[in-house]
């Protein structure tokens, strides 16, 4: 066996081993299967919910909220981050806002957002926007502010205008860090959204998890949790693929 | 063959650059008076910290003198100067071709007019085949060639070069030096070339300016007597070259020692 294959196997052993142990213990009668379902029970329930279309219904709602919030939060985040790096007054203006608003747990804003945007999708999307905005701003700013000095020198010596510097140098120079920010934000958007869906909504994976808890359908709860993990994984892989396409100069 | 010299002329008078630092000020260069003729290949050498890069950066418009004047006559040239940096300064996110075109894009040259100029510049440095590569896919020598093409394409009155080959390995350095001299012999453009290597200065330039350690002043200006076109390899092995190099080393040695004594004081 080559070292590479060994590593891959090792990579799989821990999750598979954990699931197997879990299954074996429950089958051996350790624990109450009504409260702690076995992996096989969850898989069975998962399959049922996929077949009935119920899981798809909740998934679509959650995905729509995540992606709407992700785009609406990250695009202004990128713009503000770049402007902060380019113009000192913009940085001075935004710095205290970011320093004070970033640490606030965004889920604490939920009641406020319900008040402002009502019980529909808008309040959930707004929550994701607030959660996504800050990591993207900070990463974009750091990326743009740390562009090597020589690129500014080249731009100046070759007669680049502010606009050219912004569009062709600061943006691209910051792009690797922008993507780092987007990756964090993507995970954060799932985290806050699922929590937000615990209240004041009748759809979404978060609702599914919370509702099944109240009805003590623990297997459905696990289906919801597993689904969030899978969605997060797929979304991250897609984002990484986009990153590879958009940043071809990043050496492998 | 004699080189047809055409390019910007420069007149530097009483140039001084002082930096304010934590405790007082540091004089980087002082009393620099220098005239550069159109089409001259001028090299500037000196110990590190002698302000030679500062002088070049002021000429490039990247720094400002504290006092003194610089008069550049670049009439008839599209741009006054173009700089080639030590670490190529190619934008990693642009292909070689886009990098070379950069100085034309910034000046609003239409694509149709830029295309043949970029083509010619790429050909000049032998990178036509690598036009779509990104800088990280090129060797150090090829990156510096691209940077030279990027400077040439703008049709500058003079080229400002800040130790452009210092980071290359010995073989590549010799190759690029020969190429640059050939380019200069073809174009006759004014070149101001900063280096810490006496050998490099004597191989390529018409005159070599030797600067003193901090504060940087002009210690001596040496006329380099070797005719063009030059075969750099042959020249570097000749007795006259060796003698001139030794003479200048003696001058510079004094400065290096003085700079070291200054630091150990």
Q: Does A3 contact B at CB distance below 8 Å?
A: no
- The domain spans of chain A are 1-31, 33-246
Structure token pair of residue A220: 């459905």
Number of separate domains in chain B: 1
For A247, which residue in chain B has the nearest alpha carbon? B93
Give, in order, the Cα–Cα distances in Å from B186 to each of B6, B154, B183, B189: 11, 16, 5, 9
Q: Does residue A169 belong to the interface with chain B, where contact is any CB pair within 8 Å? A: yes
Contacts of residue B54, defined as CB under 8 A and 6 or more positions apart, other chains included, come to B17, B28, B29, B63, B216
State pLDDT tens for residues B77-102. Answer: 889 999 999 888 999 999 999 999 99
Q: Please indicate, yes or no, if residue B100 is contained in any of the structural domains.
A: no
Give the residue from A237, A224, A239, A217 showing the smallest Cα distance to A193.
A224
Considering the domain boundaries, does residue B124 fall inside one?
no
pLDDT in tens, B171-193: 889 999 999 999 998 888 999 99
* pLDDT band per the 50, 70, 90 thresholds, residue A34: confident
| Closest residue on chain B to A171 (Cα) | B93
Contact A223/A46 with Cβ under 8 angstroms?
A: yes
Supply the CATH number for residue B49's domain. Answer: 3.40.50.300
Contact A251 B79 (CB under 8 A): no
Residue B212 to chain A, least CA–CA distance (Å): 26
Q: How confident is the model at residue B116 (pLDDT cuts 50, 70, 90)?
A: very high
B interface residues, A as partner, C-beta within 8 Å: 60-62, 79, 81-83, 85, 87, 89, 91-94, 102-103, 105-107, 134-136, 150, 154
| Partner-chain residue, chosen from A153, A154, A249, that has the shortest CB–CB distance to B134 | A249
Phi, psi at A54, each rounded to 5°: -70, -40
Domain span including residue B68:
1-77+160-168+190-265
A27-45 burial, b if ≥16 CB within 10 A, otherwise e? eeeeeeeeeebbbebbbeb
**What pLDDT score was predicted for residue A80?**
95
For residue B215, the model assigns a pLDDT of 83
Question: How far is it, in rounded angstroms, from Cα A241 to Cα A233?
Answer: 12
B134 contacts on A by Cβ (under 8 Å): 248-249
Q: In this structure, is residue B90 part of a structural domain? A: no
Closest by CA to B126, choosing from B170, B191, B183, B83, is B183
Q: How far apart are CA A185 and CA A128, in angstroms?
A: 9
Position B58 in a domain: yes
**Does residue B28 lie in a domain region?**
yes
CB contact under 8 A, B136 and A249: yes
Tell whether the model's pLDDT for residue A117 goes beyond 70: yes
Token couple for B38:
């159109």
What is the structure's pLDDT at B58?
A: 95
- Which overall architecture, per CATH, does domain A33-246 show? Orthogonal Bundle (1.10)
When computed from its CA atoms, the radius of gyration of chain A, rounded to whole angstroms, is 23
Q: How confident is the model at residue A35 (pLDDT cuts 50, 70, 90)?
A: confident
Q: Confirm whether B82 is domain-assigned.
A: no
**What distance in Å separates the CA atoms of residue A117 and residue B3, rounded to the nearest whole number?**
76
Element containing residue B13 per DSSP (H, E)? strand B9-20
Predicted confidence (pLDDT) per residue in A158-203, tens digit: 999 999 999 999 999 999 999 999 999 999 999 999 999 998 889 9
Q: What is the pLDDT of residue A251?
A: 60
**Confidence (pLDDT) at B228:** 83
């Amino acid at each position: 066996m080559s070292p590479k294959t060994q590593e891959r196997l090792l990579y799989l052993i821990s999750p598979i081993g954990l699931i197997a142990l879990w299954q074996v213990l429950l089958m051996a009668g350790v624990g109450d299967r009504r409260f702690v379902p076995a992996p096989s029970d969850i898989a069975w329930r998962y399959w049922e919910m996929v077949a009935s279309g119920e899981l798809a219904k909740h998934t679509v709602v959650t995905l729509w909220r995540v992606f709407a919030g992700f785009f609406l939060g990250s695009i202004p985040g990128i713009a503000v981050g770049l402007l902060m790096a380019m113009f000192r007054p913009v940085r001075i203006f935004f710095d205290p806002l970011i320093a004070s608003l970033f640490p606030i747990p965004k889920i604490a804003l939920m009641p406020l957002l319900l008040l402002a945007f009502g019980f529909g999708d808008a309040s959930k999307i707004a929550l994701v926007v607030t959660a996504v905005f800050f990591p993207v701003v900070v990463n974009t700013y750091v990326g743009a502010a740390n562009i090597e000095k020589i690129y500014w020198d080249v731009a100046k010596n070759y007669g680049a205008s502010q606009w050219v510097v912004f569009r062709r140098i600061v943006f691209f120079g910051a792009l690797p860090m922008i993507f780092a920010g987007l990756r964090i934000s993507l995970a954060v958007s799932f985290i806050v959204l699922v929590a937000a869906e615990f209240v004041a909504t009748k759809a979404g994976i978060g609702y599914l998890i919370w509702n099944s808890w109240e009805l003590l359908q623990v297997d459905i709860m696990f289906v919801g949790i597993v689904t969030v993990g899978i969605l997060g994984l797929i979304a991250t892989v897609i984002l990484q693929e986009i990153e590879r396409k958009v940043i071809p100069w990043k050496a492998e | 063959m004699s080189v047809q010299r055409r390019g910007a002329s420069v007149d530097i008078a009483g140039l001084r650059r002082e930096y304010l630092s934590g405790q007082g000020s540091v004089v980087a260069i002082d009393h620099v008076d220098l005239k550069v003729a159109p089409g001259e290949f001028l090299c500037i050498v000196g110990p590190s910290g002698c302000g030679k890069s500062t002088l070049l950066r002021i000429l490039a418009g990247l720094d400002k003198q504290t006092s003194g004047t610089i008069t550049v006559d670049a009439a008839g040239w599209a741009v006054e100067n173009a700089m080639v940096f030590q670490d190529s300064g190619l934008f990693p996110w642009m292909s070689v071709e886009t990098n070379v075109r950069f100085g034309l894009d910034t000046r609003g040259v239409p694509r149709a007019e830029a295309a043949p100029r970029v083509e010619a510049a790429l050909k000049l440095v032998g990178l036509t085949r690598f036009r779509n590569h990104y800088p990280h896919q090129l060797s150090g020598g090829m990156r510096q060639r691209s940077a030279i093409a990027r400077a040439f394409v703008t049709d500058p009155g003079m080229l400002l070069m800040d130790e452009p080959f210092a980071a290359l390995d010995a073989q590549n350095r010799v190759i690029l030096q020969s190429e640059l001299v050939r380019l200069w012999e073809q174009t006759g453009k004014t070149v101001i070339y900063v280096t810490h290597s006496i050998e490099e200065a004597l191989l390529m330039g018409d005159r070599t300016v030797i600067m003193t350690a901090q504060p940087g002043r002009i210690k001596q200006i040496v006329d380099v007597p070797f005719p063009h076109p030059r075969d750099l390899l042959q020249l570097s092995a000749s007795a006259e070259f060796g003698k001139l190099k030794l003479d200048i080393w003696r001058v510079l040695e004094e400065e290096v020692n003085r700079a070291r004594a200054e630091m150990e004081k």
